[in-house]
Amino acid sequence: MADDSKLREFTHYNACFDWYHSLFTEKQQALFKAYFHYDLSLQEIADDHHISKAAVSDALRQMKEKLDSLEVEFQLLKRTAAMMDMLKDAPASLRESLLALWQPRKDEGDNADHD
């Protein structure tokens, strides 16, 4: 059961981060990606970034709070789900074209491998 809740948490925050990542500093983005994309432990992240484990934990907690606040305000995940529901019966080519326009854009550096 704990694994399900962790998976839901990771899925939720990764989806939020896709939309709102540009509102965070490069260092915050790096910490987020280390934890949520690369599944590193807090201690591994702390060692990599030469900061304390508590600092990593605090930064991630603050980022999650900000992501939650942004989603409450803008509801981009909710709107995406509603649009996908509306498009479920649309022809595949139209659905794919509309979704391509709506999905959050990835920064060019997002495809880089983790060091």
% of the chain with per-residue pLDDT over 70: 90
Where does the pLDDT of residue 106 fall: very low under 50, low under 70, confident under 90, or very high at 90 and above?
Answer: low
Q: pTM of the full predicted structure? A: 0.80
CB atoms near residue 75 (< 10 Å): 12
Cα 100 → chain centroid? 18
For the cut 50, the answer to whether the pLDDT of residue 113 exceeds it is: no
Q: What is the Cα–Cα distance from 22 to 71, expressed in whole angstroms?
A: 14
Instruction: For 44-95, write each residue's pLDDT tens digit.
Output: 999 999 999 999 999 999 999 999 999 999 999 999 889 889 888 889 888 8
